Amino acid sequence: MILALLVCGLVVVLIAVGLFVFGLRRRLIQRSGGTFDCSLRWDLPEESDISGKGWVYGVARYNGDRINWFRVFSYAPRPRRTLERSAIEVIARRATEGAEEMALLSDAVVLSCVHRGTRLEFAMSDDALTGFLAWLEAAPPGQRVNVA
């Protein structure tokens, strides 16, 4: 009986520590500012896919001429993807469709892009989209930027 209570208490403590570390990691990512919630689908086929599959919820952070993208449900301190401003080409934007509405945050806008030959999609709020496109357009002189 005492062993069962000890094991249950240990499990509760481990869950609490895990949740605390998730919160602390997110706080550390947001500490320097310039972050926004952003889901990502990487390496898409040429045809449109509105199945809702492949979306990963994350947080993106502006870092000079780069966007660092972190998975929310991860303990990794480093970004999962780093995208350079000069290599991002915006193809189109659209509203969520079909099963995507359930897979993404409410009122998300999907932005289709190409980064170094890899097709990807971002899903973010209207406010975050406005900031992202302004960041792309604010590239230093001489950089090629293509914003649809």
Per-residue pLDDT of the chain (148 residues; tens, 9 = 90+): 888 999 999 999 999 998 898 888 878 777 877 889 999 998 887 766 667 688 999 999 998 889 999 998 888 888 999 999 989 999 999 998 888 888 888 889 999 999 999 999 999 999 999 999 999 988 777 666 566 5
Residue 90's CATH number: 2.30.29.30
Nearest to 113 by CA among 40, 60, 56: 40
Buried b (16+ CB within 10 A) or exposed e, 54-72: ebbebbbbbeeebbbbbee
Whether 10 is in a domain gets the answer yes
Distances (CA, A) of 102 to 20, 60, 86, 106, 108: 27, 21, 32, 8, 11
Q: Are 84 and 15 within one domain?
A: no
Q: Are 38 and 73 within one domain?
A: yes
Q: Are 92 and 21 within one domain?
A: no
Range of the domain at 37: 33-137
Number of domains in the chain: 2
Whether 146 is in a domain gets the answer no
Q: Are 15 and 57 within one domain?
A: no
